Amino acid sequence: MTTPTLDPTDRRILDVLQSDGRISNLDLAAKVGLSPTPCARRVRRLEETGVIRGYGARINPAALGHGVNVIVSVRLVRQNPRDIDEFLRAVKAMPEVTECLLVTGDLDYILRVAAPDVDSLKGFFLDRLKKLPGVSNTTTNLILETVKTTR
Amino acid sequence: MTTPTLDPTDRRILDVLQSDGRISNLDLAAKVGLSPTPCARRVRRLEETGVIRGYGARINPAALGHGVNVIVSVRLVRQNPRDIDEFLRAVKAMPEVTECLLVTGDLDYILRVAAPDVDSLKGFFLDRLKKLPGVSNTTTNLILETVKTTR
DNA sequence: GTTGAAACTTATTAAAC
DNA sequence: GTTTAATAAGTTTCAAC
């Protein structure tokens, strides 16, 4: 990938934009100690080089009806390509699955699952996740609180 | 918490803002089939009621020099308020900690940690995380691939 | 890198329907 | 909820330093 060099000013810009993606260029320039023109140039460059991938609203999951958020650790039985492929395709298609990570360790995939309530989650597990090929073991942790997020 | 009722239009607004947090009110209104005035009113209401928690730039972790991403499961020794409080304060202040979740199960907190390389991660663990009060046990999983993200 | 100014696009508010 | 109009504010582009 292209790896543009980021100087300290770029990093400060990214820092500010990460916590306030809707700040005006004037305020941003003032915060990072730059005049508006070069500040806008830098932001545009960061966007064009893919350092900034986009902007998004941080939405309260509970308000969206995602009252129940869990982390599901999944272990696949056999690591054969066909099963993995089908598992990944299914996971990508499931709207409840908010995130899916391939990790090392004694488990294979970590899923983040959001559902309106426990009943929906039950259906998701029994009717869908557990029926996927290769899924041998799953452990679930209920998320009680999001203490921090910088993403 | 206050749970305002979200009608379909609100949900469409949230949907658009989630993927494009910098869209102008005019474009947003057009996308959700509303005129600009009530659209702006709804967005403002969503912000004030806490449904929209803020806006942020999505930044390429690799560009930031976060080549190594891990998931750290942390277990605290004693669950006394003072320790928990200090632990949380420290975690919030650590820039390497990208996410922190309080969960149920045989562990207490799940952290997402990003570092430039393995050496930095080593320093983070030995000099900082392990020295926090109450941290008894940590297990670490290296993230090999982000298969899916909807957040 | 800086400032300054003009042209263009939005946001915001108010009014009337 | 809608449209329209006016003011204020922000963005972008350009020139000159």
| CATH number of the CATH domain containing B89 | 3.30.70.920
pLDDT above 80 (res B124): yes
Residue B18 is inside which H or E element, if any?
helix B8-19
Identify the domain containing residue B43 by its residue range. Answer: 8-48
Please, which positions of strand C sit below 7 A from a protein CB? 1-5, 9-15
Domain for residue A151, yes or no?
no
Considering only CA atoms, give the Rg of chain A. Answer: 20
- Residue A13 structure tokens: 């810009």
pTM to 2 decimal places: 0.80
* B37 occurs within a structural domain: yes
Mean pLDDT for chain B? 91
What is the predicted pLDDT for the residue at B63? 84
Considering only CB atoms, which chain A residues are within 8 Å of B88?
A: 147
The verdict on a CB contact (< 8 Å) between B54 and A19 is: yes
- Per the structure, the residue whose CA is closest to nucleotide C3 at C1' is A35
Owner of token pair 């632990």 = B87
Percent of chain B whose predicted confidence (pLDDT) is above 90 = 75
What pLDDT score was predicted for residue A75? 94
B60 confidence band (pLDDT: 50, 70, 90): confident
**Cβ of residue A38 near strand C, that is under 7 Å?**
yes
- A150 within 8 A of B99, measured Cβ to Cβ: yes
Mutation for testing the B interface, residue in A14, A52, A60 having most B CBs under 10 Å: A60
Domain count, chain A: 2
Confidence of residue A4 (pLDDT cuts 50, 70, 90): low
